Structure 1
């Protein structure tokens, strides 16, 4: 009945709208996260009363707290999302944590409140990334998941690009309180959009995680081999026809091929779990790549603002603007995603880590306040930004492919609760581990061993990571192989 459908139902339940909402949610989270990066070193001294010589230490502590709560919140949101009737509920809970975090940043005049605010921000990020990416996978066909993940990096790009830049400039022009006008407006928009999503109950979808038409076709073929229509009674055939008709209606609504009812299986079958996916090297390697990528990102955020202030004599505005160089390459996320959908993740990921290794090692040459050094730093940050977005898209795509490919090889292995959100929880936990380790590693090395030693160690870390990624990470997606076999 068309009249009973919610307002703008077709748009609000569409694939495009879901991707847009998740992208804006990621943008809001990353923008607010990045906005405080150039502000914190100054706010620590002026508002909290920390000593200037201790600023690097407290910046590292706050970033580590963010990583710790992201690490704790990711499995909680993953389990909650996979066992909820609606994924939108944990998605909104993450938004509430972001609002509370922003409020605490505004009123904080003690180190304790700043730590709590940064912790809530990490908890919010867990909800955005784990639940948001799971919602994308639910609503996007598998052959376009890489492209969709690339589209979400646009939100991340603008967040990293505008967050530090606008944060630093607004802090200088409008003061501390004026800086938070834009975050408050973004949170208000995010509230409207997250509630606007129309999500079909998980039970109606039979908790199907992905648009895995090949897996469904293989299940149907296997089922028809055991029980053929000609061997069924008229009543049984009528029942199956009714189920198929109902599934077709659900498929049209969801724009997916996820069945509303699975064919019955003979005997008892023990369902696979998230731990079954870890037996293959693909998911552990994706997590390892994510950890190193997060270490790179956190190291940049921890050391670059203070380093350019000290080396080039820049203000917080200049420290924010330098991140433009590392954010611009993320606009290529969609193209990278399409490329990965065609050839797999192995080559792009290995090249990204190799380029990161060269960039970090060369960054030790930036040590004087000269135009040449500024240009060199800008170019190296651009390379690192391109490498980071490539690794992010490959890791996010690999996480979704691991679940879908396992179901192709083992039809019905997960029963009615596929662990797609828990898989992204592992991805997020890996990122959180890097966010926790990165500030500690980079901050401590820069203080105790110096800038040159820090950049050398991070370069070697990237070079070492490129080896197993290039040798053992996922090759061509199983879906491509299945399609090739069927078309042949």
Structure 2
């Protein structure tokens, strides 16, 4: 009988059944190194996204020769283009990442696209170059976040998923804070090309780390223990055919009667009598629709969308608001994002709480959403160029950032857990395949959809109805979604 020690050994030094090659078990494939590479990659993507936020209004006027009246509109459009590209690419990237033999290739492709996008923005003296650059940047971000989260779920799904995703969320703190801050400082004191010099330096380091990571194992091999459980559940309901395989899996030891020589057989045995191709597009599409029809999955994606709307609305509105209200220049326009992002340092702690007490997910989500309502509405009181109003704005942004942290990590954990549990609940449909990369793609696509709507919504409301109306208009959906989250709690 296979013991837990044997299972642990199999995770550390496993074997690819189709090729007979051992999975690398050195430091390049260790959990610590993988999480460092993924977090740095995600930080790089967010940093490059935010690097141009405080410089876009001035750069568009000085380099693209836009009039000052068009600054807000095109600032919102360029931010939204990033979200539009992410929305379209993320689910597609997730689908192909699940079918690919390795997560590493799309991870590197995303880096190459990000480099090309940064180069276009660097040389952009025409509006078309900025548009193409932002679209490529959004596509690259979809690849990085989708594949990066899938890598973490592959390694941490059994014992520390919440904490790992918390570290991934915390990596956005550095990018979101350092991007606008360094972009504003370097642009103001070093000129237009200084921020892009930093961008290419970070991309070079990111390229080294991504090339070094040893993750070339097929997804099917990494999820073997989960597939074994699926076979056990399936064989309790129906008799599994013995196809003459010589090696018994753990399911066979438990008396399930399923024998396999490779990792594909457990996905099919006791599921149906179809040909041995568990990744047929019709089956895959049906499984995806089944995920999306889950009320809890739909709610989690909707909440992630709303959080993204609020954050990206701030990206569009805050630099111009503090410029017009406090007469702040680019450096200060970047600094104003620090209070909003610093509270995310608690994300790993939230992830640890979720690992220990999984049922707290919806309580944390609801609490964060409810608390955001009065905080968002209180932004209307920031109207004058006085020290007290500046302190009030920073304090409100810090509390809003804390509430976003209470929501963001539990939502990501909820999406991944629902996806991991789906094959157990419906083994005949999913054939033991978790499709975790596609779920991460849907999650990132939901966030990207919010980043498409947020800049337009925030900029439009502020332009035509004022800062006060914008504050409560963004707050109302938070309270409604918080109430719905309580209804679906378990």
Counterpart contact for 1:295–1:437, Cα < 8 Å: yes
Counterpart contact for 1:140–1:211, Cα < 8 Å: no
Counterpart contact for 2:24–2:214, Cα < 8 Å: no
Offset at 1:93? 1.2
Is residue 318 from structure 1 mapped to residue 304 from structure 2 by the alignment? no
Counterpart contact for 2:239–2:270, Cα < 8 Å: no
Instruction: Describe how 1:46-57 pairs up with structure 2 within 5 A.
Output: 46-57=62-73
Distance 2:463 2:58 in 1: 18
Counterpart contact for 2:234–2:271, Cα < 8 Å: no
Offset at 1:154? 2.2
Is residue 13 from structure 1 mapped to residue 29 from structure 2 by the alignment? yes
Counterpart contact for 1:65–1:436, Cα < 8 Å: yes
Is residue 331 from structure 1 mapped to residue 372 from structure 2 by the alignment? no
Counterpart contact for 2:272–2:428, Cα < 8 Å: no
Distance 2:477 2:225 in 1: 36
Counterpart contact for 2:424–2:432, Cα < 8 Å: no
Instruction: Give me the CA root mean square deviation.
Output: 2.9
Normalised TM-score (structure 2): 0.86
Distance 1:200 1:143 in 2: 22
Distance 1:267 1:299 in 2: 49
Distance 1:267 1:307 in 2: 60
Question: What is aligned with 1:292?
Answer: 306
Distance 1:186 1:171 in 2: 17
Distance 2:230 2:118 in 1: 48
Instruction: Describe how 1:27-46 pairs up with structure 2 within 5 A.
Output: 27-46=43-62
Aligned length: 453
Pair 227,274 (structure 1): closer, same or farther in 2 beyond 3 Å = closer
Question: What is aligned with 2:167?
Answer: 151
Is residue 71 from structure 1 mapped to residue 87 from structure 2 by the alignment? yes
CA deviation map 1:1-59 (0-9, x unaligned) = 99x99998511111221111110000000011111110111111111111112111110
Question: What is aligned with 1:303?
Answer: 317
CA deviation map 1:85-113 (0-9, x unaligned) = 11111111111111011101110011111
Offset at 1:338? 1.4
Question: What is aligned with 2:183?
Answer: 167
Which of 253, 268, 273 matches 2:273? 268
Q: Which runs of 5+ in 1 are unaligned?
A: 248-257, 476-488
Distance 2:364 2:156 in 1: 22
Counterpart contact for 2:366–2:485, Cα < 8 Å: yes
Pair 66,421 (structure 1): closer, same or farther in 2 beyond 3 Å = same
Counterpart contact for 2:23–2:217, Cα < 8 Å: no
Distance 1:277 1:423 in 2: 9
Offset at 1:170? 0.8
Distance 2:389 2:54 in 1: 21
Which of 129, 141, 148 matches 2:157? 141
Question: What is aligned with 2:381?
Answer: 365
Instruction: Describe how 1:71-220 pairs up with structure 2 within 5 A.
Output: 71-202=87-218, 205-206=219-220, 210=223, 213=226, 216-217=228-229, 219-220=231-232
Normalised TM-score (structure 1): 0.86
Q: Which moved more, 1:78-87 or 1:388-397?
A: 388-397
Counterpart contact for 1:151–1:334, Cα < 8 Å: yes
Offset at 1:431? 1.0
Distance 1:59 1:377 in 2: 22
